[in-house]
Structure 1
């Protein structure tokens, strides 16, 4: 008889719920090898890019900052069943996960939590602003630097510059689409801040899982293999000027709800709406970043934060700042400092 508590990686579970056996990401806050049990993708999301490249670097300081120095405390409160099911649906279907919600609800942190628990290495982060284009995410070609190096070399003041690959660097999206055996995690942060074209421009790349580098395609006959730099600052070989994935990356698109997205993008994504955290969730966040004692001392600030959240737009990082700063302060200065740091984000300017 199979162990109904078994996790996808074969280790014993603790929830005793047979319905959860299919979950790859469990929100447990501890790394495991459950990603190896992820079934093959559906036929329409099966990609065959290659040859395989080495996996990216392991978890970096960005994830440590996001998840907290006491991140093992995340075990004290897991995501809701609905959140877990939606995240796992994106993993199974190889579809981008569109995460919406108010600032400070943990949208960006979710990408780091999945990467950390499933051992998927460093999160590739692509922050979006109004000037961001698809090209920024895929790759950059520094033609001006190449021209300058050629001119300096021609004047005899320097050695002959390297090949074209020395002037091409893959962006976060381009690096995520490299053919790796396991998926990379890509965080496309605050997509709603983009101009009107970027969501539509993303459609084809996310659907096909590949892209071309025209500067290399033009040289493919005489130079079919070119070594370029990645967003990880490592070198990989691009063949025939094209990059195509093998394992589709786990893509997290975050939005604060400042704009609507086109229907073609929405139908290609799995949507997760993160609501305002309750007292238990906020206490867990405080424990993960500041420890158990800080959560105990700051319990009254958590309560006041939640009461104000009913009528004001606030963010959880404001609460963390207040608890950290007021840890050694005494009333009434403690209350005054907390109010100074936790100011409503939707107040008139």
Structure 2
């Protein structure tokens, strides 16, 4: 039977992104001329290749790809929200992930582009003028770069959107709906065309009429730790996904094997004990899966010293994330 899923979560690279059907009429974008997707690997290649996608994650990623909508991923720390972006980019060969970390001070402009007038002024005062090349002083941000007219969608990770100020989600709505934005420093010039820098350090790209307009809407993955609620207008324009921590010891053990395969073979009994200990501790306090990976790796090497209490050592690198549990609860 034909498989409708473009992203399958198999961690095997393929070119099926070319099978993605045309977008719905209300999500068509006309940017151009088309740019080639940069080649490169995700910044966290190991995690991308070891990531175990849930059936729900695979389904919702494909929904976002088909509908050309952002994907809002919620879940506790360490549940794999950010790594999902790298896993999709790796499997579909969509180039390096564009990463935009969010804080309370970040504005929409930070994600779109930055202009450096001071360096331009300095250059204009040099004894040997370099010409009026304004594009040298304009650098697109992660969001701005993702909205370039690539023939294939770029993957943009907007990390911890729930830490933004109250206005940013609503500000993003216009950008997500229009798929374009204006660079004011270009559009008000007599010649609004320029070649500008990008967020990922690639070659300069052309911008015509002062407008950056996408062609293939990017796969925007926004992560949230669930620390705030989002307005209904924002939520209805997103595909949503909730990730959870592994449900049992078998699932945890499988994740450890993916990341530390040769090590788990050498220390199978130790790994089993640490997984069980982690799962028991997680029932009375919040823990993240990467803490278990750290504990397994550390205890593997510490096990050469027979005087070390490995369980005690493991607990020291697995502190509770939401406050220390009482001693009688451990």
TM-score with structure 2 setting the length: 0.91
Match of 2:150 among 180, 184, 201: 180
Give the total of aligned pairs.
317
- The equivalent position to 2:47 in structure 1, one of 49, 54, 66, is 66
Residue 161 of structure 1: how far off its partner (Å): 5.8
Q: What is the distance in 2 between the residues matched to 1:299 and 1:201?
A: 48
Equivalence map 1:4-153=2 (5 Å): 4=1, 21-60=3-42, 62-67=43-48, 71=49, 78-151=52-125, 153=126
1:206 pairs, out of 146, 160, 176, with 176
Q: CA deviation at 1:118?
A: 0.6
Task: Kindly report which structure 2 residues correspond to 1:266-277, keeping only aligned pairs within 5 A, or say none.
Answer: 266-277=235-246
Query: Which digits, 9 at most, give the CA deviation of each residue in 1:183-208, with x for residues without a partner?
Result: 00000000011111111111100111
**Mean alpha-carbon deviation: is it higher for 319-328 or for 266-275?**
319-328
Name 2:274's counterpart in structure 1: 301
Q: Structure 2 stretches of 5 or more lacking a match? A: 326-330
Q: Decide whether the 8 Å contact of 2:245 with 2:289 is kept in 1.
A: no
Does residue 1:281 correspond to 2:257, yes or no? no
Question: Which residue of structure 1 aligns with residue 328 of structure 2?
Answer: none
The farther-off stretch of 330-339 and 180-189 is: 330-339
Partner of 2:287: 314
* Separation in 2, partners of 1:348, 1:242: 52
Q: Does 2:216 match 1:247?
A: yes
RMSD: 1.9
The runs of 5 or more residues in structure 1 that have no matched partner are 7-20
Instruction: Give the deviation of 1:212 after TM superposition.
Output: 0.4
Separation in structure 2 between the aligned mates of residue 95 and residue 293 of structure 1, nearest angstrom: 40
Alpha-carbon deviations, 1:120-162, whole Å to 9, x = none?
Answer: 11000000011111011000001122122223x1xx3x54465
Preserved CA contact (<8 Å) 2:148 2:212: yes
- Residues 102 and 275 in structure 1, CA contact (< 8 A), matched pair in contact too: yes
Which residue number in structure 1 is paired with residue 302 of structure 2? Answer: 329
Native 8 Å contact 2:263 2:300 kept in 1: no
Q: Tell me the CA shift for residue 348 of structure 1.
A: 6.0
SS at match of 2:148: coil
Matched, 1:340 2:316: yes
| TM-score (normalizing by structure 1) | 0.86
Contact 1:186 1:249 in 2 (8 A): yes
1:262 paired to 2:231: yes
Instruction: Compute the displacement of 1:267 (Å).
Output: 0.6
